């Protein structure tokens, strides 16, 4: 007996706060990475292309967001806010490895990008500028 083959379609989209779709990309297999960008960064840049250099704000979850991506988008006049995964390569270890007690907060500035770690029941890492 063989396993069921899973089929599906991935949609990546940029939406307004009231769920109005602004840009959509359908996953169509492997794509080439732009120079100096990871696959996720290439995806975010292609989705945000019409809005770059406009001063807009973008909110991302920890799958897409990184300190490196936030810095690159800031250079294109795009402001970011979002949660951050603890194991991203270019995270400042002073923030991500800190052992915080409940209610403690720690933040650091890396150029013009701010990284914050706050603990309530769980630790919450965030990136913003």
pLDDT band at 14 (very low <50, low <70, confident <90, very high): very high
CA angle 25, 67, 13 (to 5 degrees): 15
* Distance from the first to the final alpha carbon of the chain: 53
**DSSP 3-state assignment of 24?**
strand
Q: What tens digit of pLDDT does each residue of 89-128 get?
A: 778 888 888 888 999 999 988 888 999 999 988 888 898 8
pLDDT band at 34 (very low <50, low <70, confident <90, very high): low
Phi, psi of 113 (to 5 degrees): -110, 130
CA-CA distance, 34 to 52, in Å (whole number)?
Answer: 16
Q: What tens digit of pLDDT does each residue of 43-62 get?
A: 999 999 999 999 999 999 99
Q: Which residue has the tokens 């500028």?
A: 129
């Amino acid at each position: 007996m063989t396993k069921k083959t899973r089929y599906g379609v991935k949609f990546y989209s940029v939406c307004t706060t009231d769920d109005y779709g602004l840009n959509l990309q359908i996953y169509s297999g492997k794509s080439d990475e732009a120079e100096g960008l990871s696959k996720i960064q290439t995806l975010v840049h292609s989705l945000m292309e019409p809005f770059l250099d406009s001063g807009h704000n973008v909110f991302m979850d920890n799958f897409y967001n990184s300190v490196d991506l936030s810095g690159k988008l800031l250079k294109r006049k795009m402001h970011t806010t979002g949660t951050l995964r603890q194991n991203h390569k270019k995270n400042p270890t002073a923030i991500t490895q800190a052992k915080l007690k409940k209610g403690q907060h720690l933040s650091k500035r890396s150029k013009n990008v701010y990284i914050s770690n706050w603990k309530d029941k769980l630790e919450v890492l965030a990136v913003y500028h």
